Amino acid sequence: ANAELADSVYNLVLMKGWTFLTPLLYFFARVLSPITFHSLRNALHHSLEQIQRKHGVINGIVSFIPFLNAAIIAAQPHIPLITIVTDWNSSEAHPWFQDTRQYLLCATSDAFETAQNQNWPQNRLHKLSGLVLREQFYVEIQRNQRNQSISHRRPLRTIDSDEMSVLITFGGCPPTGSVIKIVHAILRANSSVGNLEMIVLCGRNEALKKRLERINDLNSTENSRIQALGFVSNVATIMNRCVCVIGKPGPGVVAESLALTKPMIIPLFSMGGLNGIMPQEHDVLDYLLHNNLGCISTTEPDFIQLFNTPYSQLEFITNSIRKLPQNQALYEVARFLQHTQLQTTFIDAPIEYRTNIRPKLEM
């Protein structure tokens, strides 16, 4: 119940665009963590014991959630814990590296080097080629490979001969104010940007979706129109038909856009500047800018200029992205789980855990 309440508060903060409150939320989370730790550990211990009584011994636990790792280790210290890092790095806001008994699968060089600097055991530290993506993105990656010779010749400006589509996404709870500013900026410049379709992922923000539909009814022209979507299952397909992605530098969406060779535009003018960037997103933003894989727009004119001259900056960014190694993280994790001999470090563990074991995993 407490986790659901915290999640609801966090989602409300995101939808309202109150990102200045996130440091306060993280502060309360750190303060309350020691208080709630024992109850969380006991709950996990009880749940894992029930699973083992019903299904047999758990040979490994795979974690994608940083805040649960310490409690999982305390609840069942004899079960190997495999942590898939889904942030660019471990940070005070999102701490991933709690205990050297964890097997760490790091998605970025930054995270891998941070673990090395903490003297993480080499046999428990592994580097992936990127963040783990949903399987549909790998389908699109393969489609792009098949069409590579065509895509190199096709102008960046179009998804077909006449139109350019851009994807606006801020996660499952997009902030209404920021999205509306972006849409109005493009609509005000519709005479100069050519035929442009704005695809907006509204997620849980139903009020935003209805508002965008009203704006589209009143303002859509032959040059610019809005397609407002709620939750969809084909995000990868939608992203792949767009020329760029507009949104916050969240680790997930950045990894997805890079995998599909889409420049990432960070519209700081609509987000309150750098104050709109969450703590765990700063490393991502630095990575994008330092490697010419994305760009920021601090003013509305800067933002619109990107679409007036798409063959320059966006094309340059696209070519930089093409030089990156291909993301195969999903399959790398699968191979790790299939072939790695996991080992507990506890001599007082039950006998079935005292040898090298192949994982039967609880996700």
pLDDT (tens digit per residue) in 115-172: 999 999 999 999 999 999 999 999 999 998 887 655 454 444 433 335 689 999 987 6
Residue 278: predicted pLDDT: 80
Residue 177: predicted pLDDT: 87
Contacts of 61 (CB under 8 A, 6+ apart): 48, 72, 76, 79, 80, 81, 82, 361, 362
Q: How far is CA 142 from the centre of its chain?
A: 20
Residue 348: predicted pLDDT: 45
User: Which stretch of DSSP H or E encloses residue 42?
Assistant: helix 22-55
The span from the CA of 49 to the CA of 16, in Å, is 40
pLDDT tens sequence for the chain (363 residues): 444 444 454 455 455 555 555 566 555 566 666 667 788 888 889 999 999 899 888 889 999 988 788 889 989 888 999 999 999 999 877 789 988 989 999 999 999 999 999 999 999 999 999 999 999 999 999 998 887 655 454 444 433 335 689 999 987 677 888 899 999 988 887 655 567 889 999 988 899 999 999 998 887 666 678 999 998 999 999 999 999 999 999 999 999 999 999 999 999 999 888 888 888 889 999 999 999 999 999 999 989 888 776 557 888 999 999 999 999 999 999 999 988 887 655 444 444 444 444 444 555
The span from the CA of 157 to the CA of 308, in Å, is 10
Phi-psi region of 295 (alpha: psi -120 to 50; beta: other; left: phi over 0): beta
Place of tokens 């889904």: 86
203 in Cβ contact with 228 (< 8 Å): no
Residue 316's φ and ψ, nearest 5 degrees, are -60, -45
Residue 362: predicted pLDDT: 52
The span from the CA of 240 to the CA of 226, in Å, is 17
Structural domains present in the chain: 1-133+329-339 (no CATH), 135-323 (3.40.50.2000)
Q: How far is CA 124 from the centre of its chain?
A: 24
| Sign, CA torsion 248/249/252/257 | positive
DSSP string, 230-291: -S-S-HHHHHHTSSEEES---HHHHHHHHHTT--EEE-GGGTTGGGGS-GGGHHHHHHHHHT
Residue 10's φ and ψ, nearest 5 degrees, are -60, -45
